[in-house]
Structure 1
Amino acid sequence: MVISERLFHQQSLYCQPETIYTCQSSWISTPMPDLCVMSHTGKAIELPDETLQKLASRLHGDLLHQESNAYETTRKVWNGIINKHPALIACCHDQNDVITAVNFARTHNLLLAVRGGGHSVAGHSTCDGGMVIDLSRMNHVSVDQAARVVHVEGGATLADMDQATQAVGLVVPAGAVSDTGIAGLTLGGGIGWLRNLWGLTCDNLLSADVVTADGQCITASHAEHPDLFWALRGAGGNFGVVTRFTFRAYPLKPDVWFTAVYHDGRYMKEVLQFYREYSATAPDEISTAAVCGQFPPGSRDFPSELHGHPYVMIVGMYAGSVEQGQKVMQPLRDFRKPLIDFSKPTTHLEAQKFFDEDYPAGELRYYWKSLFLAELSNDAIDTLVDHASRQPSPLSGIEILYSGGAVTRLDDDACAFAGRKARFLIFVESNWKEAQDNDANIAWPCDLISALQGGTEGSFYLNFSSTAEEKESTMRHNYGNKYQKLVAIKKRYDPTNLFRLNQNIKPS
């Protein structure tokens, strides 16, 4: 992870609550030959031109194939290690398009991926040879300021939602990288700068409009289809395509205090012990992370004498007055002399973009692992310090996120999310540039998580985990006594496992 000082410029609002999203209906832009498309069983199926033209004519959006002008840019996803070529991409304009695409995929037994923001580190939002339902054009956000309710389409990003809500002084708890898709974030849980005060993103979901595997659109909430609503909050994209989310929002003024202070990595153990003790008594308005990394060689953001030197950064936001935030977060800056201190008053919108530059789309290869820990023991800290010294890429890092407050006060059975009672989330991120370095950068996070797993329940965070987490035994272990309930819900809403490109829960 490369962290640099942020300029915190205020950006223009491009998604106001009253904005109406429009898209011109279009037919497929290039003539289609008969196509071989991959089925969900791995068998190639030939779809004639007539069948494809009929599908294209029923979409308000576009149907792309490999000869389409927009195919190459549309097929690419955020993670540079994922390089897949779907046979068809249905760029949906509205919910009816999603229904049409789901029905087509089911009728023809196609391998199907669903793309919201395209930010899946595991690459679940695309596939080779199959069909992708792309929701990126469905990014409208509407805000009911009086009711403090926000409606978000399935292709919207955090930036879309944050700018719409902050325009009227509201906020929905979300993640911490602005181009993350709301859909994947919510369905996996949603951990961000407001978690300790107002909970996870999925904790603030009021309802979801879902296109299920049989092509029906249903609304899931506490009152309607409560079993599906329970599963959507933390078990990923297993149960359908969510075309609209409805969230509870909270009042938050634009100006906040943001702490970003680098301590000398030679004292990593001491810093992490201090972070552990500070977090245990911090008010709920504070949500933070400790980041272990290296100052990257050649960076112009840091003094040259620090290049290659290890650091521990403590970063976080206070959701309240700037003055109070500076006061209560001051110990994070003062307990020992820092190498660099970028702490300052800023806006919530800019705080949400603090990490954006560190995760460029398509430029880096990403492989991540995660693990929830009940406590951050001294032995765990020793393991983290040891592995931090051996990270193969200077762009990588280890994040330790403390969760308390609203996250842990909610009953663990309230929804499918696993790891609610854990106090710490260990997030190990390998970020690198060259394919020749793949093996070392994939092995490093796996080795660290394996070293930490003794004595833990073994739950992980879906949104911070790459492809190795897809085994059935891993999913069963992750959800524990919730797993059989999830299997039953999967069987009810997706009995043929049409939605299988995810951290999959099989319907039997």
Structure 2
Amino acid sequence: MNAMSFTALEGGKTTVDAAALETLSTQIRGTVLREGDAGYDGARSIWNDMIDRRPGLIACCVGASDVVAAVNFARENGLLVSVRGGGHNIAGSAICEGGLVIDLSMMKSVRVDVAARRAWVGPGATLVDVDRETQAFGLALPTGINSTTGIAGLTLGGGFGWITRKYGLTIDNLVSADVVTAHGKLLRASETENADLFWALRGGGGNFGVVTGFEFKLHQFGPQVLSGLVVHPFADAGKVLREYRAALETAPDELTCWVVMRQAPPLPFLPAEWHGKEVLVLAMCYCGDIEAGEKATQKLRAIGTPIADVVGPNPFTGWQQAFDPLLAPGARNYWKSHDFTELSDSAIEITTTAISRLPGPECEIFFGHVGGVAGRVPADATAFPQRSSHFVMNVHARWREPAMDKACIEWARDIYEASKPLTAGTAYVNFKT
């Protein structure tokens, strides 16, 4: 291996000699890839197709010792570094230009202790890996809503989804983490060991080291949940959102209901004449007894005159993957996000008006429904700052052709700026671009 030029941590370029490169290759049990190697292009490709960066090297790690070797190599040579877990981060932080990527995607193990209700999860695992293994034993971890998301990035940013209101954020269920620091030291972080680091890892993002393993507490849950979609004509959106807001005032922690506004995809339960037309969707999940869920969802399902109501018992693992076809890799994506303590009439007006000028058929706005148990954790207990928020708005611009970049990005930014005065003043770190 010849000497190579890299992007330096402090900017500019730096050269690493052949001997140092050879030492790294011998220290790592996984694979070290450079441009031109088989597998390089696949390893630098991530969920957001807008990200097209070319690292100098990609260290494909298979264990913590590989991570230590990669971190030491980067520090000793002053290299720009990024860390790839599931590769799902919207801003593309997994891949750096010209530097060293520490790729954890092969570290996908999930081990469950049923009696202790604990799971030990590798940083390369995705939500589907966690869901399948935990649900096999009637257990669950509160995570996100797109099963291809990596557990590492989701956790470090907070993590919320269908069962967060009942069981807390993903970070609220983190018991410990193994972390390689910038000095190449492998530490355990928990409430009793390196507690300051543990505090920062829970919501502070991937800024404090490379996590090589997570220990989570699990909850007895599933395998069936009451879940599904109620689809409304977009002409009724304002009325539906105001009644939705009122219905949630008495919602139990077990009930979560998100709002999605977009053009209708060709879903099999929708009449063909609605395909491609603007709709408002109430996506709900009740994590408890099915009969109790039927009662708890009555107010939401009684709103307006829906086009379709497909709420019913479903396997939790299936519901966790319900939105995957709309969020598959291969598209260009740009997000802007705000937290809201309330869904005001002004917020409703701004977002519904924006749907009337969608720049493309895959663009959407959603409101994630949070609060519940997650909102009752003290604000200073973790580095996650948004405990008082009840809704997370994400303006999701999604398209295929680079020629649409300007129109889609401006659409998202315009909504973000217009709604900013109505917000809690915070934004979910995992949704930031």
Flag whether TM exceeds 0.5 (same fold): yes
1:107 aligned residue (59, 76, 86) = 76
| 1:88 to 2:73 alignment | no
Alignment of structure 1 residues 149-160 onto 2, 5 Å: 149-160=118-129
Q: 5+ residue gaps in structure 1?
A: 1-31, 467-508
1:175 to 124, 131, 144: 144
Task: Tell me, yes or no, if structure 1 residue 385 matches structure 2 residue 352.
Answer: yes
Matched, 1:462 2:417: no
In the alignment, which residue of structure 2 is the partner of 1:338?
306
Is 1:323 aligned to 2:291, yes or no? yes
C-alpha distance in structure 1 between counterparts of 2:359 and 2:94, whole Å: 27
TM-score, structure 1 length as denominator? Answer: 0.83
Aligned residue among 400, 411, 430 for 1:433: 400
Q: Structure 2 matches for 1:211-360, cutoff 5 A?
A: 211-296=180-265, 302-360=270-328
Q: Is the 8 A contact 2:179 2:186 kept in 1?
A: yes
**What are the Cα deviations for residues 235-284 of structure 1, in whole angstroms up to 9, with x where unaligned?**
10010001111111100120111121101100111111111111121111
- Kindly provide the amino acid, as one letter, of the partner of residue 438 in structure 1: D
Q: Please point out which of 182, 197, 201 is paired with 2:170.
A: 201
* Counterpart position of 1:442: 409
SS of the counterpart of 1:453? Answer: helix
Question: Is the CA contact 1:259–1:329 (under 8 Å) kept in the aligned structure 2?
Answer: no
**Aligned-partner Cα distance in 1 for 2:309–2:198:** 43
Deviation of 1:439 after TM superposition, in Å, equals 0.7
Q: Distance in 2 between matches of 1:34 and 1:331?
A: 66
Whichever residue aligns with residue 355 of structure 1, its letter is: F
Q: 2:179 aligns with which of 210, 216, 240?
A: 210
Pair 422,299 (structure 1): closer, same or farther in 2 beyond 3 Å: closer
Separation of aligned partners in 2, 1:301 and 1:135 = 39
- Measured in 1, the distance between the counterparts of 2:272 and 2:112 equals 46
Aligned residue identity for 2:300: L
Contact kept in structure 2, 1:291 and 1:397, CA below 8 Å: yes
On the 8 A contact 2:127/2:146 being kept in 1, the answer is yes
Distance in 2 between the 1:351 and 1:307 partners? 22
One-letter identity of the residue aligned with 2:41: E
Instruction: Determine the structure 1 residue equivalent to 2:343.
Output: 376
Q: Helix, strand or coil: the match of 2:380? A: helix
Q: Residues 367 and 430 of structure 1 are in contact (CA less than 8 Å); yes or no, is this contact kept in structure 2?
A: yes
RMSD of the alignment, in Å?
1.4
The answer to whether the aligner puts 1:185 opposite 2:176 as a matched pair is: no
Distance 1:101 1:139 in 2: 18
Distance 1:456 1:330 in 2: 29
Q: CA deviation at 1:150?
A: 1.0
Q: What's 1:485 paired with?
A: none
- TM-score, normalising length: structure 2: 0.97
Check 1:354–1:247 CA distance in 2 against 1; reply closer, same or farther (3 A cut): same
Identify which range, 242-251 or 377-386, moves more after superposition. Answer: 377-386
8 Å CA contact retained: 2:257, 2:285: yes
Question: Following TM superposition, by how much is the alpha carbon of 1:332 offset from its aligned partner in structure 2, in angstroms?
Answer: 2.2
SS in 2 for 1:281: coil
Q: Give the deviation of 1:455 after TM superposition.
A: 4.4
Given that 1:255 and 1:321 are in contact with CA atoms closer than 8 Å, whether structure 2 keeps it comes out as no
1:355 and 1:300 mapped to 2: Cα distance? 14
**2: distance between equivalents of 1:112 and 1:54?**
18
Deviates more, 1:64-73 or 1:328-337: 328-337
Which string of whole-angstrom CA distances, capped at 9 and with x for unpartnered residues, describes residues 64-95 of structure 1?
00121111111111101101110100000100
For these two proteins, the number of residue pairs brought into alignment is: 433
Rounded to whole Å, the distance in 2 between the matches of 1:457 and 1:251 is 33
Name the aligned partner's letter for residue 399 of structure 2.
W
CA contact (8 A) 1:199 1:407 kept: yes
Assess if the C-alpha contact under 8 Å between 2:338 and 2:424 holds in 1.
Answer: no
Query: CA–CA distance in 1 between the matches of 2:350 and 2:216?
Result: 39
Question: Deviation of residue 124 (structure 1)?
Answer: 0.2
1:341 shift after superposition: 2.3
> Residue type of the partner of 2:223?
P
> Which residue is 2:108 aligned to?
139
**Partner amino acid for 1:422?**
S
Instruction: Report the secondary structure of 1:400's partner residue.
Output: strand
Partners of 1:128 and 1:66 in 2: how far apart? 12
> CA contact under 8 A between 1:275 and 1:290: conserved in structure 2?
no
Supply the AA of the counterpart residue of 2:156. Answer: L
SS at match of 2:249: helix
2:43 to 63, 74, 93: 74
Identical aligned pairs, as a percentage? 42
Show CA shifts across 1:373-416 (max 9, x none): 11111111111111121221110111112222101111111111
SS at match of 2:421: coil
Structure-2 separation of matches of 1:267 and 1:302: 17
Structure 2 unaligned spans of 5+? none
**Aligned-partner Cα distance in 1 for 2:365–2:422:** 20
Q: How far apart, in 2, do the equivalents of 1:219 and 1:299 lie?
A: 46
Hey, what's the Cα distance between the residues in 2 that align with 1:167 and 1:215? 36
How far apart are residue 301 of structure 1 and its match? 7.0
SS of corresponding position for 1:375? coil
Q: Which secondary structure state, in structure 2, belongs to the residue aligned with residue 407 of structure 1?
A: helix
For 2:290, the aligned partner's letter is V
Counterparts in 2 of 1:1-40, with a 5 A limit?
32-40=1-9
Shift, 1:325, TM fit: 1.6
